[in-house]
Structure 1
Amino acid sequence: MAAAKGEGRAQATRRRPREGLVASAAAAAALRSVKDLVSSDPVGITSVEPLDDGWLVEVEVVEERRIPSSADVLALYEIELDGEGELLAFRRTRRYGRGKASGNEGS
């Protein structure tokens, strides 16, 4: 039986790293990584999850600014960091219009 997207590795290894960064420092490191890798503006952090050996952080980014701003196109990026805050993986997981609710909010 196939696992739903995002349930595999993160579900199996989710817990606080033994040493290194705290959640707020991991979030700041993820923001720096996004700023280095994409030309768009980060809006904020949507989640920070501890892994056995680092952190999984989701960052929301404005990919296309439109007028009015309620028509902006946003994206959600998943950033995986090691215990020292170094980038291990970077991927865009979702792209959507500002204010558009998805079918899985809150899950």
Structure 2
Amino acid sequence: MKINKVMDTVTDFFKENVNAPLRFTAIEKTDEGWYLQLEVIEEKEYMQKYARDQIVGLYEVTLDDEMEVTSFKRINMRSRSMAYEEEATS
């Protein structure tokens, strides 16, 4: 299944470059390839050492049709126990 291949590709990329646990929250096929959103546990060891709540980063990732990661960026961060703040719309 193609979505499994997309997930495997992104998981391998994040293991190699970010080395943090992740959870997919959105996967969409686009005209250019794939768009994904995922949550990543940030600085897990530091937060556990100092008995702090874990920090979760929300990332956007894009892949081209050849299943190569073409971009990724963190778009938000929060404490694990808090909800993401919604951006105000006008």
Q: Give, in whole Å, the separation in 2 of the partners of 1:34 and 1:51.
A: 21
Hey, what does 1:53 align to over in structure 2?
32
The number of residues matched between the two structures is 82
TM-score norm. by structure 2 comes to: 0.76
Post-superposition CA distance 1:52-102 (Å, at most 9, x none): 121011221111222457x10111111100112101111111111002112
Give the alignment partner of residue 63 of structure 1, picking from 42, 66, 69.
42
Give the alignment partner of residue 44 of structure 1, picking from 4, 7, 23.
23
Counterparts in 2 of 1:90 and 1:103: CA distance versus 1, 3 Å: closer
Contact 2:56/2:80 (8 A) holds in 1? yes
Q: C-alpha root-mean-square deviation of aligned residues, in Å?
A: 1.9
Tell whether 2:71 aligns with 1:89: yes
- Could you tell me which runs of 5 or more consecutive residues in structure 1 were left unpaired when the two chains were aligned: 1-20
TM-score norm. by structure 1 comes to: 0.66
Identity of aligned residues (%): 28
